[in-house]
Structure 1
Amino acid sequence: MLKPNLLREAISAANAYLRMNPDSLAIWVSEGTIVSTGQKSLSHEYRYQTNLLVMDYPHNVDTVVLPVQLWIREHQPDLHFNPDLRETGVKFKVDILDNGTADLLIILQLTEAAIVTKKDSELIVTHRTEPPHDPYADVSEWTLDSAGEMVNTWVSQQLGGKS
């Protein structure tokens, strides 16, 4: 499974606090299924729940949620564009710790296709990327404005920007 690490990389790249405090970000897969194609090959699809936990976060939760949304557009676009999946595919919980910090848990339902081919006597696994569907593909620099206040800016690597 590649997506949990890709998610960590994207969130860390987009959020200066999490870059400086990497132990404040935990990502794990809590449950999943492996669905085979029912065909001759060993190709299959991983379907799993990924949990992203930001601990003791002292900033606006939008500074985490927006980079997650951007990541979803590229790596799991059906969570945005499929009417059934967008209702339940992304959930969250917030534990307000005090006046300045909170724990934020984002729960994502992800899928990942693994294509298995055979070359001579070797089995080769290739993880298929998601088909493109990104109206913001030409935007690489982002600014988050909340209630008239600029709270964060970043350059999005996954959308073609450079850090």
Structure 2
Amino acid sequence: MKKLHLLRTHLINAVPALARDPERLLTFVEEGSIEFRRGPNLTHEYQFTAQLVLTDFSADLDTLIVPLLQWLAEYQPDADPAQAISFEAEILSHKSVDVALRVKLTERVLAKVDCDAGRIKVDHVLARFEATGCPAPRWQLLIRDSAADADYTLAAEWDNAHGG
């Protein structure tokens, strides 16, 4: 489940609260299954719901959701927008919450059997779908609480995982 590791790394790099304390991001897999087809090869696909739990989160939720959506656009663009992400939150105080996100992911694995050599070669296919027309090497997330506010506030910034 290499995608979950990539997602975790992306969020830790992009979300300032997680960059300061990555142990506050807990990751689990729930509702996992493996789809395969009968045949000479052992190619299969992991299908699972990743659960991302952020403990004692006091930043603006957009500092988490916007980088998550950016990552999904690149690594899981075929996700159903209405079902790809769900969440729950427990209000801890006026300033902090525990947030549990559920993100549906798939990961294809090519496993080719070579009977003559007695080998099985496995490749994880982590297809990337570059966002066209927006190759910025660095991103800044600017948030304005309401249209009445004159200025945006810098809430987060991160490097493009692939340098543009």
Fold conserved (TM > 0.5)?
Answer: yes
Match of 1:138 among 124, 131, 135: 135
How has the CA–CA distance of structure 1 residues 11 and 136 changed in structure 2, closer, same or farther, with 3 Å as cutoff? farther
Contact 2:16 2:156 in 1 (8 A): no
TM, length-normalised to structure 2: 0.86
- Using the TM superposition, give the Cα deviation of residue 44 of structure 1 relative to its aligned residue in structure 2, in angstroms: 0.5
Identity %: 26
Structure 2 CA distance for aligned equivalents of residues 39 and 86 of structure 1:
33
Q: What is the aligned partner in structure 2 of residue 150 from structure 1?
A: 153
Q: Is the 8 A contact 1:95 1:102 kept in 2?
A: yes
CA contact (8 A) 1:77 1:133 kept: no
Q: Which moved more, 1:96-105 or 1:147-156?
A: 147-156
Q: Which amino acid aligns with 2:135?
A: D
- Rounded Cα–Cα distance in structure 1 between residues aligned with 2:118 and 2:124: 20
Bigger-Rg structure (1/2): 2
Equivalent position of 1:127 in the other structure: 124
In 1, are the aligned partners of 2:110 and 2:125 still within 8 Å (CA)?
yes
- Aligned residues: CA RMSD: 1.7
Aligned residues: 156
Aligned residue type for 2:159: S
- For 1:52, the aligned partner's letter is L
Query: What SS does the corresponding residue of 1:93 show, helix, strand or coil?
Result: strand
Residue 68 of structure 1 corresponds to 68
What is the Cα deviation at residue 39 of structure 1? 2.7
Q: Aligned residue for 2:3?
A: 3
Higher helix share: 1
Whole-angstrom CA distance in 2 between matches of 1:10 and 1:77? 16
- Mapped to 1, the partners of 2:154 and 2:93 lie a distance apart of 20
Please give the secondary structure, in 1, of the residue aligned with 2:82: helix
Assess, with a 3 A threshold, how the Cα gap between structure 1 residues 38 and 122 changes in structure 2: closer, same or farther: same
> Contact 1:63–1:151 (CA<8 Å) still a contact in 2?
no
Call closer, same or farther: CA 1:41–1:33 in 2, change over 3 Å: same
Shift of 1:137: 4.7
Q: Distance in 1 between matches of 2:74 and 2:83?
A: 18
After TM superposition, give the deviation of residue 151 of structure 1 in Å: 3.7
Kept after mapping to 2: 8 A contact 1:141/1:153 = no
The gaps in structure 1 that reach 5 residues or longer are 80-84
SS of the residue aligned with 1:78? coil
User: CA shift at 1:142, angstroms?
Assistant: 1.8
**TM-score normalised according to structure 1 size:** 0.87
Q: Indicate which of 84, 87, 91 corresponds to 1:92.
A: 87
More moved, 91-100 vs 6-15? 91-100
